[in-house]
A and B are shown apart, each in its own frame.
Chain A
Amino acid sequence: MLPLQQAQGPLAGQGKVGTLRDPVAAGRPRAPTEIADYDERIKAIEQRLACSCGCTLDIFTCRTTDFTCTYSPKLHREVVELDRAGKTAQEILDAFVTRYGEKALMAPKPEGFNLWGYLLPGSAILLAGGALAAFISRRRVAVAATTGTGTASVRSAMTPPAPDAPPPVNATPEEMERLRRALAEVED
């Protein structure tokens, strides 16, 4: 839990400060940084909560990126207040869901219908991969059984050249031997 009365962060200095000629042009006025603004625990919670300004970013990213957003600083203060009230991370997340609905979470809870979201892609790939492997293996067995040989490649190796097979190579036996050696290295 963070200490109360963190009006000024520990990094704020005491140097001489000038005044800007056109403060409006420098964006919205900022409050001094507090410990909670860059506390890793608060940041981790905020990264799991969506900003409600419609930016599609999480609270932490929005408040540290879009300095024109008025929602994310307010939501940040809510997180900090809940933290100071002694709530755990999960309790803070739950409080946000109660207050703003399920869309407050950056990712839906992996339960109920949402499980489809998490599990379907991986399951589909596993299922398709398994089916593919089984299909290939079955075809190989079927081909071997039909031909009475070990594999289709053996069968094809025993078959005489088809009429549309590539023409014989115009190369000397030495060249062929060099080629075979090189192919063994390159095409393995």
Chain B
Amino acid sequence: MTLLGEFCLWLALLVSAWALVLGFSGRWQDRPDLTASVRGAVFATFGALAVAALSLWKGLASHDFNIEYVAAYTSRNLPDGYIISALWAGQKGSLLFWAVVLSLFGALAQLLTPRRYDALMPYVAAVTSAVIAFFVCTMLFAANPFERLAFTPADGRGLNPQLQNPGMMIHPPMLYLGYISITIPFAFAIAALLSRSLDGGWIHAIRKWTLVSWLFLSIGITLGMWWAYVELGWGGYWAWDPVENASLLPWLTMTAFLHSVMIQEKRGMLKRWNLGLIVGTFLLSIFGTFITRSGVIASVHSFTQSNVGYFFLAFLVVCGILSFTLLYTRWPTLQAEVELESVVSREAAFLFNNLLLVGVAFSVLWGTLFPILSELVRGAKITVGPPFFNRVNVPLGLLLLALTGVGPLVAWRKASPGNLKRQFAAPVTAGVLTAIALLAAGVRGLYPVMALSLAGFVAGTICQEFYRGVRARRRMHGESVPVAFGRLVARNRRRYGGYLVHAGVLIYFVAFSGMAFKREIEATLKPGDSATLKSPFGHTYTFTHVGVSQFEALNRIVSAATVQVAKDGKPRGLMTSEKRQHVDSFRRPTFEPSTEVGIRSNLQEDVYITYAGSIGGTEEAVYRFTINPLVWWVWFGGFVLAFGGLVTMWPGGGAVIPTPRRAPARPRLAEAGALTE
């Protein structure tokens, strides 16, 4: 199978190189025979890479430990689910996964794009093929997943225990799908620049792709937070680790693009900015891959260091130079069709929102790279950790949250004072009342109070938008509230789906602010001993140590420490935290013992128990008990955000209607998305 797999990699390289060359030359020479051949080559590349991926999976499933990758990431007793996820658990396999998914997306782009964009498609195929060729080259010359060992070990090393979590079967693919699908909008942007088809058609062609990419990234990031929370055991979900930052960067610029593209669609403005954002997002996704794989910046998430990083750095530089040079040459043809009329307009609010999103992205990038810069300039090694990022980014995040509420309240083109007063009255009241309620309840701390008050303001904005929409439908059509609500969303999915996304973001902020009130205690307990901890919501938890039991399960020896939990004196059952010593099929330890936390979650707070270890090989156990407020809302916020994204991208529901750019504003029935039947 390795022979077939490696052959397929070479085949994919040749075919993608073919598509790359003919895609450009066929379009330049306007030769339909060549461009038709390119389309076929895109499908063939996918076929070749799919066979290569299946070959590696076959090697993993059949425990062919002569393959270095199989021996490094699996063992005979590894559960089946993790045999599948082992494909993306390591550097080499994940490169293959990336290439095969990109080739699938490339093929889907050729299949699903409407025919009116046919002129762009050869370039799109050429750009995606270029990226695929790069990944295949990297595999063939630096990280071959089919590399064989000089001997065959009796068993493999097994999968890192922290990767043996259901989250790891979904989180990395989701992030990869987000990263990878960014290539398609990038390819369309480059195609539009090359073909000088800069009329905005390409924007419509990539709308779904950008949303798909954003959605996958959002889900991937949220799942990553969940995985870190349940698996890493420090009781948090975001640590500003360079690799976490690398996933956030393209998400921020993509979010900026999804806002600014509306201005281009409605007003014909920000063409240069939008192209720059798409190119920047793609480059940031490659940068993230470089960070993860180069080892240039220390991270808990990194793959093992290898020279693959240099490949990505070179690719990043080449892509950046070529893309921005191309953008520069088309600069004069990307003039806005109209000028911005007022600082107090939705366009301006979107612009400031874009500025902040890109500013936060810059700030995160700056912080991530600052240790390297410091070493270059001063020769001094420094650490840039959470205190730095929180200090710099929390105020920016709060400003962004405020703009999330402001944007929908301001009218397009120019808002009048009367309009502003009418629009802002209820949301501002909601924000102020929230602040008063918090202060009256004894909540202190500038940032948490600000975050929660702004969340109140944004919630006011969203509720007002839905309320007015529903009321309008009820007046116009006499519908019941649920029907009016359903049709309101269904007939203008983009707008109201967007508000759902905003709701998800505000839930995130509320949940994040909860961590400011986290409580924790460490205790050494003999069986029967108790420790107590008071939660920020005023509940008193009592943890009584029951004992430590040891047993074998699947591929590990488990030491389970159990506590009886009582909340305000009432028994709430048992909770268990474990130490897991993973072993191979010969019962040889494969990694250091890992820790599995015990979590009990409700809408208010999570009880989070960590078994740190035992005293002198006895049942006397050291525990860390943590109460994490509002964590459940992080996952719910992620769900709302993803649901809103799905609503937004669901087919139908009406497109954005451009506002008249040279003629006086005339009402058109279709503009009232909420009202159309």
Chain A interface residues toward B at CB < 8 A: 8-9, 11-33, 37-38, 47-48, 50, 54-58, 61, 64-65, 67-68, 101-108, 113-114, 117-118, 120-122, 124-125, 128-129, 132-133, 136-137, 139-140, 143, 151-153, 156-159, 161-162, 164-166, 168-169, 171, 175-176, 178-180, 182-183, 185-188
CA distance A29 to B166 in the complex (A): 29
CA distance A101 to B378 in the complex (A): 13
**CB <8 Å contact, A179 and B669:** yes
Shortest Cβ-Cβ A-B pairs, 10 listed? A13-B529, A23-B617, A165-B663, A121-B363, A15-B528, A125-B359, A30-B613, A107-B388, A106-B385, A65-B234
Q: Using Cβ atoms and an 8 Å threshold, which residues of chain B touch A16?
A: 526-528
Q: Using Cβ atoms and an 8 Å threshold, which residues of chain A touch B363?
A: 121-122, 125
Interface bits B543-571 vs A (CB < 8 Å: 1, else 0): 00101101000000111000000000000
> What is the CB-to-nearest-CB distance from B452 to chain A, in angstroms, rounded to a whole number?
23
**CB <8 Å contact, A106 and B362:** no
Q: Using Cβ atoms and an 8 Å threshold, which residues of chain B touch A175?
A: 669
> What is the CB-to-nearest-CB distance from B651 to chain A, in angstroms, rounded to a whole number?
23
Pick from A12, A156, A178, A182: contact of B529, CB below 8 A.
A12
Any chain A CB within 8 A of the CB of B241? yes
Q: Using Cβ atoms and an 8 Å threshold, which residues of chain B touch A29?
A: 613-617
Q: Using Cβ atoms and an 8 Å threshold, which residues of chain A touch B525?
A: 11-13
Q: Using Cβ atoms and an 8 Å threshold, which residues of chain A touch B396?
A: 121-122, 125
**CB <8 Å contact, A165 and B660:** yes
- Nearest CB in chain A to that of B666: its residue: A166
> What is the CB-to-nearest-CB distance from A114 to chain B, in angstroms, rounded to a whole number?
7
25 sample A-B contacts, Cβ–Cβ < 8 Å, listed by A number: A9-B523, A11-B529, A20-B617, A27-B593, A30-B614, A48-B387, A56-B239, A56-B241, A64-B522, A67-B593, A67-B613, A103-B382, A104-B383, A105-B382, A106-B388, A107-B391, A117-B388, A121-B396, A124-B362, A125-B355, A139-B340, A156-B662, A164-B662, A186-B672, A187-B672
**CB <8 Å contact, A108 and B234:** no
Please classify the interface of chain B as helix (H, G, I), strand (E, B), loop, or mixed, using the class held by over half of its residues: mixed
Interface bits B355-389 vs A (CB < 8 Å: 1, else 0): 11001101100110010001001101111111110
> What is the CB-to-nearest-CB distance from B611 to chain A, in angstroms, rounded to a whole number?
8
CA distance A36 to B76 in the complex (A): 44
Any chain A CB within 8 A of the CB of B635? no
CA distance A143 to B342 in the complex (A): 11
CA distance A31 to B468 in the complex (A): 62
- Nearest CB in chain A to that of B345: its residue: A136
CA distance A8 to B468 in the complex (A): 64
Q: Using Cβ atoms and an 8 Å threshold, which residues of chain A touch B610?
A: 64-65
**CB <8 Å contact, B377 and A28:** no
Q: Using Cβ atoms and an 8 Å threshold, which residues of chain A touch B671?
A: 183, 187
Which of B54-62, B122-130, B257-265, B411-419 sits within the interface?
A: B411-419
Q: Using Cβ atoms and an 8 Å threshold, which residues of chain A touch B664?
A: 156-159, 161
Q: Using Cβ atoms and an 8 Å threshold, which residues of chain A touch B468?
A: 185-186, 188
**CB <8 Å contact, A20 and B381:** no
Chain B interface residues toward A at CB < 8 A: 232-234, 236, 239, 241-242, 298-300, 339-343, 348, 351-352, 355-356, 359-360, 362-363, 366-367, 370, 374, 377-378, 380-388, 391-392, 395-396, 411, 413-414, 419, 422-423, 468-469, 471-472, 475-476, 520-531, 545, 547-548, 550, 557-559, 579, 581, 592-593, 595, 610, 612-620, 622, 624, 660, 662-669, 671-672, 674-675
CA distance A179 to B669 in the complex (A): 7
**CB <8 Å contact, B380 and A101:** yes
CA distance A171 to B669 in the complex (A): 8
CA distance A124 to B363 in the complex (A): 9
Q: How many A-B residue pairs have CB under 8 A?
A: 306
10 A-B pairs besides A122-B395, A166-B666, A186-B469 with CB distance below 8 A are A17-B620, A23-B617, A30-B524, A30-B614, A54-B298, A57-B234, A58-B386, A105-B382, A133-B343, A169-B667
Pick from A9, A114, A129: contact of B382, CB below 8 A.
A114
CA distance A187 to B579 in the complex (A): 57
CA distance A124 to B614 in the complex (A): 52
CA distance A10 to B660 in the complex (A): 74
> What is the CB-to-nearest-CB distance from A82 to chain B, in angstroms, rounded to a whole number?
19
> What is the CB-to-nearest-CB distance from A141 to chain B, in angstroms, rounded to a whole number?
11
**CB <8 Å contact, A20 and B559:** yes
- Nearest CB in chain A to that of B667: its residue: A179
**CB <8 Å contact, B672 and A169:** no
Quick one: given A17-B620, A166-B663, are A152 and B339 in contact (CB under 8 Å)?
yes
CA distance A61 to B518 in the complex (A): 14
**CB <8 Å contact, B340 and A136:** yes
**CB <8 Å contact, B234 and A19:** no
**CB <8 Å contact, A26 and B374:** no
Q: Using Cβ atoms and an 8 Å threshold, which residues of chain B touch A14?
A: 526, 529
> What is the CB-to-nearest-CB distance from B369 to chain A, in angstroms, rounded to a whole number?
10
Q: Using Cβ atoms and an 8 Å threshold, which residues of chain A touch B581?
A: 22, 24-26
Pick from A26, A120, A165: contact of B614, CB below 8 A.
A26
**CB <8 Å contact, B614 and A103:** no
Pick from B241, B395, B550: contact of A21, CB below 8 A.
B550
